Amino acid sequence: MSKSYEEINSKIERGDAVVLTADEFKAVVQENGAESAAREVDVVTTGTFGAMCSSGAFINFGHAEPPIKMTKVWLNDVPAYTGLAAVDAYIGATELREGDGLDYSGAHVIEDLVAGKAVRLRATAYGTDCYPRKDVDTHISLRTVNQAFLFNPRNMYQNYAVATNSSDRTLYTYMGKLLPRHGNATYCSAGQLSPLLNDPHLRTIGLGTRIFLGGGIGYVSWEGTQFKTNVPERNGVPAAAARALAVIGDLKQMTPEHIRALYFTKYGCSLGVGIGVPIPILDEEVARAAGVTDDQIFAPLLDYAVQSRNRKPMMEVSYAQLRSGIIDIDGREVRTSGLSSYKKALAISRELKEWILQRKFYLSRPVDTFPGERAQRPLDVRPATEA
C-alpha cells in the first residue's frame, strides 16, 4: 500500500484527508500498528520551538535620495553584514549590539521587526559617482522595507546532546546554566514531536519541502550546516546530533509568538524559532518511523566541564527519562530541564494540522533529496600545504 503526494493533496482539496498531530498518530500506531495507521492516516504534523542560533534575515531597505552604497549598517546598533548589493544586508541572530553587553542582539532586532516595531537604521559609505551619499540615519519597519526574509542555515537539529557539569563551578553555556557537580542536566529537543525524528532518514523531507516557519509558510532551502549521518542509531533514530536543514521564509508573514529573541546568561543570544513540518504517510515504512515515541529516542549525556570537541558521552538517556524531570547519574537523581518548549511544539503541530484541514496548506514534493551519507569535518590547525 502506498500513496502519492498528488493523491494526498487531492484528499486535502476535497476535505477528505485524515490529518493527525505527531502525538495523536503515535497513539494510533500503538493501538492498531503501522500498517493500519498507514492506510488510515494521510498526514502527520510535527513541531518544534527552541533556540536556533544559526538564524538571520536578509533585508532590502530601498534606495535613499540621493542614493547610498551601504558599506556599514547598524540596526538598533547591532552590526549587519553588507557585503551584498547597495541596500541589502543580512542581520545575524547572535550578533551583539555594540558596546552594550550580551543581552541585545540581531535576534532582538528580528523579534522587534516581527512585532511591528520601528528599528533604527544607520549606514555609512565611501561615496561613488552613482551612489554619492555617505551616511543615513532613519527608521524602518517591515511595512517600509521591500523584501525581508528569514534565512536560517541550520535549524531543526535532528537530536542533540544532554548537558551536565562535573566541575566545582557553575558553567554558563548555550545549553543554559549548568550547576556544579552534576547539579542539573539540560536538553534541547521536542523529542517525539520533533520534525526530523519523525522522518529520521528524510524520506519525505527534501529541497523545496513546504513548512510552517515562524507562524508563516516557509521552505526547506538546502541541507543545514553540520548536516551529518555518521552517528549511532537506536530504534532506527539517530542517538546524537545528526541532520539539520536550512530554511527560508517571508519575515512579513511571521508572528511574535513564533519568533522570539532568547538570552542565555553570561553566554549570549539566540533566536527561538517555531517550525512545523508535515509528514505525508506515503507507506508503512514512513508510518513506522513516525510512530517513534520518547522512550525509543535516546540522546548522549555530555560533560560540558570537558572543554573539547572530542568529549565522550557519559551514557545515553531517553527522552521519556528527560521529560520525567529526573535522570540518574552515577546513582544520583539529577533534575532535568528542556530548552525546547514541548508545549509550543505541540501547539505548532496543532496549528499546522488546522491549516491543512482548512485547505490553507498543501504538501510539496521535494525537488531533490539530501545526502544519505555525510560526515562532519573538524577544523584543525594546519599549514597551507595540508589544507
Write down the catalytic residue from 53, 130, 188, 269: 130
Contacts of 96 (CB under 8 A, 6+ apart): 78, 102, 104, 105, 268, 269
CA torsion angle for 310, 316, 319, 321 (degrees, to 10)? -130
β-bridge pairing 56-60 and 148-155: antiparallel
Distance CA 141, CA 292 (A): 43
Ramachandran category for residue 18: left, alpha or beta (phi over 0 → left; psi -120 to 50 → alpha):
beta
- Is residue 130 annotated as a catalytic residue, yes or no? yes
Closest to 205 measured CA to CA, from 215, 218, 214: 218
Contact 106, 92 (CB under 8 A): yes
Distance CA 216, CA 263 (A): 24
Q: Sign of the C-alpha dihedral, residues 26, 28, 33, 35?
A: negative
3-state SS, residue 346 = helix
Active site residues: 130
